[in-house]
Amino acid sequence: MLTEEKIKELEIKANNIRQSIIEMLVEAKSGHTAGPLGMTDIFTLFYFHILKHNPQNPFWEGRDRLVLSNGHICPVLYATMAHSGYFPIEELKTLRKFGTRLQGHPHREYLPFVENSSGPLGEGLSQAIGMALADRMDKKDRSRFIYCFMSDGELDEGNSWEAIMFAGKNRLGNLIAIVDRNNIQIDGFTEHIMPLEPLADKWRAFNWHVIEVAGHDFKALNEAIEEAQKVFEKPTVIIAHTVPGKGVKEFERDYKWHGKAPSKEEGEMALKELKDTGARL
């Protein structure tokens, strides 16, 4: 159960992870800001409540698989994994530096704890489908799930819709996709560049179970995951409505922060705001 006490713990953990994201981006002097901050609550809920995983045994066969399709938001993946105990938090400061394990997009050759290498948008769902289909063929325990985190902007890619069609046709009930519906991409707002709405209806048309949820409400998110896990006859997509840049007012809802890292001064401002928030939790 997700108790009020547990939710408070998750809120504090998410705030600490957001601080780590800012620190690593400032140190790297490059990277993506809006998406990682916006997805922090979802990553926190998964790594500290939802996922079956073991940082001390990262290759445990019984683990859930979490596939990150929009690899450019990897600062939140790295920060959450570090806070979970996969590697030292201090290593986060090596983001995007020469020779680091923490590349600008996740790379299994350097960091085998991640489930997939990612970067080219629109490919992650196909990777997750391969894992889900393999589990079905191998008659794996139905209690294990394949999760795929996706951006809304990558739904401009035709390959995404081929994958959506394929998963619906094959009724992959062990597959759960989470779409970060933050309404921005690198050049502007999604509905200005390539309108996606009615997004939920499009997924339903391809035989997916669809849930829409507030992406920063831990209780609602947890209930959405529990509902998705109970659907056996088709894959589920959770469309999570998030605020890009969440936690730093200066960054929130501004598409210009999609692919920009904070300067030292901007980072200090952001960290002060996050620390003030943390003090109130």
Q: What is the pLDDT of residues 19-32, one digit of tens each?
A: 999 999 999 999 99
Q: Mean pLDDT score of the chain, rounded to an integer? A: 97
* Cβ neighbourhood burial of 63 (10 Å; 0-12, 13-18, 19+): middle
Domain, as residue range, for 185: 4-280
Predicted pLDDT of residue 143: 75
Compute the distance between CA of residue 47 and CA of residue 147 in angstroms, rounded to an integer.
12
Q: How far apart are CA 50 and CA 59, in angstroms?
A: 17
pTM of the predicted model over 0.85: yes
Closest CA to 102 of 82, 129, 128: 82
Residue 12: pLDDT over 90: yes
**Mean per-residue pLDDT for 174-182?**
98
pLDDT score of 141: 66
pLDDT, tens digit, for every residue of 75-132? Answer: 999 999 999 999 999 999 999 999 999 999 999 999 999 999 998 899 999 999 999 9
Closest CA to 242 of 182, 200, 153, 188: 182
Select from 68, 73, 80 the least CA-distant residue to 15: 80
DSSP for 55-106 reads: TTSTT-TT--EEEESSGGGHHHHHHHHHHHTSS-GGGGGGTT-TT-SS-SS-
Q: What is the pLDDT of residues 128-161, one digit of tens each?
A: 999 999 999 998 767 799 999 999 999 999 999 9
Residue 71 contacts residue 150 (beta carbons within 8 Å): no
Which pLDDT tens digit goes with each residue over 214-234? 999 999 999 999 999 999 999
Question: In DSSP terms, which residues pair with 149 in a beta bridge?
Answer: 68, 178
Please give the tally of structural domains in the chain: 1
- For the domain that residue 184 is a member of, what is the CATH number? 3.40.50.970
